[in-house]
Structure 1
Amino acid sequence: MRHSEFWERMDQHLGAGYARVWADTQVISELGGRTPTEALDAGVIPKTVWRAVHARLELPASER
């Protein structure tokens, strides 16, 4: 997964106006106590970040 696909999925599920705000403010323990944005900036691969976001949002398995 590329960064662009990660952000497309975020926009799809949270809306373009809210996705980045959510990613900047939600601390997720599976990401080492970082926000999704911090994790991506630290070099965590987008697929790993997406899996953590997916679990936090309790999205259906088909959206993995």
Structure 2
Amino acid sequence: MRHTEFWARMESALGPAYAPVWSREHVIAGLGGRTVVQALDAGESPKNVWRAVWETLGLPPSER
């Protein structure tokens, strides 16, 4: 998964205004207690970050 696809999924799930805020503010245990932005900046793959987001938000299997 590329970063562009990741951010498109984030906007689809949370909306274009809230996705960036949530990504900077919400700490996810599955990302080692980091935010989405921190995990991506540390080199975590967008695919792994999306899996953690998907699980945290309780999104349907079709969005995995």
After TM superposition, the score normalised by the length of structure 1 is: 0.98
Give the structure with the larger strand fraction. 2
Residue of structure 1 equivalent to 2:23? 23
Partners of 1:45 and 1:13 lie apart in 2 by 19
Partners of 2:43 and 2:61 lie apart in 1 by 25
Write out per-residue CA displacement over residues 1-35 of structure 1, whole angstroms, 9 at most, x where no aligned residue: 00010000000111101100000011011101100
Partners of 2:13 and 2:62 lie apart in 1 by 13
Moved over 4 A (4+): none
**Unpaired runs of at least 5, structure 1:** none
What is the alpha-carbon root mean square deviation over aligned residues? 0.4
Aligned residues: 64
Partners of 1:62 and 1:11 lie apart in 2 by 16
Residue of structure 1 equivalent to 2:54? 54
Identity of aligned residues (%): 61
